[in-house]
Structure 1
Amino acid sequence: MNLTDRIVVITGAAGGIGAALARRFSAEGAAAVVLADVNSEAVRAVADSVGPIAHPVAVDVTDEEQVCALVADTERRYGRIDLFCANAGITTGGGIEIDDAGWDRAWRVNVLAHVYSARAVLPGMLAQGGGHLLHTCSAAGVLTAVGDAPYTATKHAALGFAEWLSVTYRDRGIRVSALCPQGVDTPMLTDGLAAGHLGARVVAASGAVLTPDRVADAAVAGLAEERFLILPHPEVAAYARRRAEDPDGWQAGLRKLVRRLTA
């Protein structure tokens, strides 16, 4: 996808990867970037920093009616949506002790929000003859987020859903990309480190923490090539091969890392 003159929607746009995508899409010549986030004040600040092509909207992506309204309002305002970035996501920092409410919240933000946006945006994209979906699925969707069971399970589901969309709709003009970064210098990581979450400590120990702007660079390159799997950390591909070829050895290595970090 060439981003020049495109109409783009980004959820989870109040900071981190979402804000970086907005800045980069603007630099690439997008005609409009609609920034959606549950934090209305923060997303307005990002829109102000991006410039006049940015339009902030307060949206809770776990509410399907709000997601449908976001899509409908964007289509009325700009006539179409060329690229929808389902980027909102949350972590829990816990395992099986996370209560049902925590699991449900992770499921709704990390998975159902992607379902809601696809339901809402696909009819218009199909009618106009094409479009692109960019789903932020995390390297946790390809591998495992040590220390965070809900994040691991929901990001695996998010990647599976993105692949299903690609298989089902690509021949009808819809391109789907799954953005799967590993460690990114965002509040999600820094807050996790401050709270002592094991998963955040594992990511930090890897020594491969990228800035959100680097992730946005990778996203733009992947969109231009219409790749399904976009890996800002190329080493994730090698990890995935090792995991597939030797799952027992891969898990043994992760357990060794956890023992070292928790000693």
Structure 2
Amino acid sequence: MNLTDRVVVITGGAGGIGAALGRRFAAEGAAAVVLADLAADAARGAAEAIGPVATGVGLDVTDEAAVRALVDETERRHGRIDLFCANAGVATGGGLDAPDADWDRAWRVNVLGLLHSVRAVLPGMLRRGQGHLLLTCSAAGLLTAVGDAPYTATKHAAVGLAEWVAITHRDDGIRVSALCPQGVDTPMLADGLAERHLGARVIAASGAILTPDQVADAVVAGLAEERFLILPHPEVADYARRRAEDPDGWQAGLRKLVRRLRAADR
């Protein structure tokens, strides 16, 4: 996808990866960039920083009617949506004993939030015979977020949903990309490190931490090539390959890393 003159909607757009995508798409010549976020004021501030091409709005992606209303309003104002980035997500830092409320929120945001977005925007794209969906799924959707069971389970479901839509609607002119970064310098990672969540510490210990702008660079390149998997950390492809070829060895390596981190706490 060439981003010039495109109309783009980004959920989770108030900061981190979402705001970086908005800045980069505007720089690439997008006609309109809509930043939607539960933090409405922050979304409006991020849009103001981009300039007149951007608009910030409040949105709860777990509210399907609200997502449909956003899509309807954007299509009314701009005539179409060329690229929809379903980027909102939450982590928990919990295991099997995480409260049911945390499991429910992870499911509603990380999976149903994507589903609501796809359901709302896909009909218009199908009518036009073209459109691109970018679903932020995380490397956790291909591997495992050690220390965060709800995040792991829901991000695996997100990758599965993205792949299903890609297979089902590619011949209808719809392109789908699953964005799967690993460590990114965002409030989600910072909060996890501050709270000493094991998953955040594993990420910090195991690879490079990219800036949101570096992730945006990888997204622009991936969209241009219409890639399904967009991997800002190229090593994730090697990790996924090793995990598929030798799951026992892969798990043993992660257990060793976890033991080392836990030993450092003693």
Q: 1:207 deviation in Å?
A: 3.6
Partner residue, 2:224: 224
Could you give the per-residue CA deviations for residues 106-135 of structure 1, whole angstroms, max 9, x where no partner exists?
A: 001000011101111011001111000000
> Counterparts of 2:56 and 2:20 in 1: how far apart (Å)?
15
> Counterparts of 1:199 and 1:58 in 2: how far apart (Å)?
29
The alignment partner of 1:214 has SS state of helix
The alignment partner of 2:56 has SS state of strand
Partner residue, 2:13: 13
Q: Say whether 1:30 aligns with 2:33.
A: no
Partner residue, 1:185: 185
> Counterparts of 1:117 and 1:201 in 2: how far apart (Å)?
31
> Counterparts of 2:83 and 2:257 in 1: how far apart (Å)?
39
> Counterparts of 2:195 and 2:225 in 1: how far apart (Å)?
38
Letter in 2 for 1:28: E
Q: How does 1:79-94 map to 2 (within 5 A)?
A: 79-94=79-94
Structure 1 residue runs of 5 or longer lacking an equivalent are none
Letter in 2 for 1:262: R
> Counterparts of 1:208 and 1:108 in 2: how far apart (Å)?
29
The alignment partner of 1:72 has SS state of helix
Q: TM-score, normalised by structure 1?
A: 0.99
The alignment partner of 2:135 has SS state of strand
Partner residue, 2:96: 96
> Counterparts of 1:174 and 1:197 in 2: how far apart (Å)?
38
The alignment partner of 1:84 has SS state of strand
> Counterparts of 1:160 and 1:95 in 2: how far apart (Å)?
22
Q: 1:11 deviation in Å?
A: 0.1
> Counterparts of 1:35 and 1:180 in 2: how far apart (Å)?
20
The alignment partner of 2:33 has SS state of strand
> Counterparts of 2:100 and 2:92 in 1: how far apart (Å)?
12
Q: How does 1:158-237 map to 2 (within 5 A)?
A: 158-237=158-237
Q: Say whether 1:66 aligns with 2:66.
A: yes
Letter in 2 for 1:169: H
RMSD: 0.5
Partner residue, 2:77: 77
Partner residue, 2:255: 255
> Counterparts of 1:138 and 1:124 in 2: how far apart (Å)?
27
Q: Say whether 1:44 aligns with 2:31.
A: no
The alignment partner of 2:189 has SS state of helix
> Counterparts of 2:212 and 2:230 in 1: how far apart (Å)?
14
The alignment partner of 1:210 has SS state of coil
Partner residue, 2:113: 113
The alignment partner of 1:113 has SS state of helix
> Counterparts of 2:95 and 2:145 in 1: how far apart (Å)?
10
Q: 1:153 deviation in Å?
A: 0.2
The alignment partner of 1:184 has SS state of coil
Letter in 1 for 2:28: E
Structure 2 residue runs of 5 or longer lacking an equivalent are none
> Counterparts of 1:69 and 1:246 in 2: how far apart (Å)?
46
Q: Percent identity?
A: 78
> Counterparts of 2:220 and 2:70 in 1: how far apart (Å)?
23
> Counterparts of 1:214 and 1:56 in 2: how far apart (Å)?
22
Letter in 2 for 1:209: I
Letter in 1 for 2:168: T
Letter in 1 for 2:42: A
The alignment partner of 2:170 has SS state of helix
Q: 1:242 deviation in Å?
A: 0.4
Q: 1:100 deviation in Å?
A: 1.1
Partner residue, 1:239: 239
